[in-house]
Amino acid sequence: MVNDKLNLVEIDLNNIDSEHICCAIGNDKVNKERASLKKEWMKKRFNEGLIFKRFNERGKFFIEYMPSEEVWKPIIATNYMVINCLWVAGRFKGKGLGKKLLVECLQDSKQANKDGICVVSSKKKMGFLTDKSFFQKHGFVTCDTAYPYFELLVRKLSSTAFQPKFTQNAKQGIFNNSKEFSFVFSNQCPYMEEYAKIMADVCEQRGKTTELIKLKNKTNAQKLGSPFGTFGIYYNGKFMHHEPMPEKKFKKFLDKKIVD
């Protein structure tokens, strides 16, 4: 049952400087820097239809979505709302809060006369991606897939709605690398720039050439972004993974995936 004491707060240009944004809520220097990057990204997106809602306690439980024409993901869709992130973590899980956040998106989409809602998930539960079983319980179905494990889920609100799909590059998991490793990211997520630099350093320590590619606009993101959107690791032009990793975890990942 949803906690009746929890109310939704919508973050916009009027309150973003004074409100926390859930995904980087620490008061330490590192988290303040993370939040600053995310907030600057958000400020430029509000006029493009970005919506960010969270509950009125300090915790990680929020939803972020925006129109498909403006979204920073390699998705081809017309008149849809796209969920960037829906996250309920820690002690707030299992209380119906995810459903309440999704209902907000559904209501806003109907009010804006959208033809549906879509979201990127994966074949099996993975970090940084909302479990597809949650969306399936609420009427979403898979409408497209992309290499190696991504799924695009949709809930249509119109019987004549355009069928959303990934771009061809995203489906194939390819990227035109100029280096051995490419780390493609945006500040849509506050953690990505920090971890991209950490992971690039690990690769360079192993004698690999690297490039950091920061997505700076929606056109750039829709053309170059990984299916996840905010982060992608590519090795010799092929997609490897979407998850930002700390140094130790990334080293183990490389040991399993790369044979020198």
Beta bridge partners of 153: 119, 142
- Cβ–Cβ under 8 Å, residues 54 and 42: no
Pairing of strands 150-156, 141-146: antiparallel
What is this structure's pTM?
Answer: 0.93
Please check whether residue 213 lies inside any domain of the structure. yes
Q: What's the rounded Cα separation, in Å, for the pair 218 and 223?
A: 8
Q: How many CB atoms lie within 10 A of CB 125?
A: 12
DSSP-assigned states of every residue in 133-154: HHHHTTT-EEEEEETTTEEEEE
In total, how many domains does the chain have?
1
Runs of H (alpha helix) within 44-143: 97-111, 132-136
Residue 56 lies in a domain: no
Residue 113 domain flag? no
* Amino acid identity, position 27: N
Taking each continuous run of H as one helix and of E as one strand, the counts in the chain are: 7, 13
Residues of the domain holding 206: 170-257
| Residue 232 within any structural domain of the chain | yes
Q: Tens of pLDDT along the chain (260 residues)?
A: 445 578 999 999 999 999 888 776 667 788 788 889 999 999 999 999 999 999 988 777 899 999 999 999 999 999 999 999 999 987 788 889 999 999 999 999 999 999 999 999 999 999 899 899 999 999 999 999 999 999 999 999 999 999 999 999 999 999 888 899 999 999 999 999 999 999 999 999 999 999 999 999 999 999 988 999 999 999 999 999 999 999 999 999 999 987 54
Domain annotation covers residue 32: no
At 1 the pLDDT is 42
Helix (H, G, I), strand (E, B) or coil at 71: coil
Give the CATH number, domain containing residue 180.
3.40.30.10
In a domain, 192, yes or no: yes
Q: Which two tokens stand for residue 187?
A: 């500040």
Contacts of 62 (CB under 8 A, 6+ apart): 21, 22, 23, 52, 53, 54, 55, 85, 86, 87, 101
Strand locations in the chain (E): 8-11, 51-55, 61-67, 75-76, 80-88, 116-122, 141-146, 150-156, 165-166, 181-185, 210-214, 231-235, 238-241
In a domain, 236, yes or no: yes
Across the beta sheet with 210-214, the strand order is 210-214, 181-185, 231-235, 238-241
Parallel, antiparallel, or unpaired for β 150-156 and 116-122?
Answer: antiparallel
Is there a domain that residue 222 lies in? yes
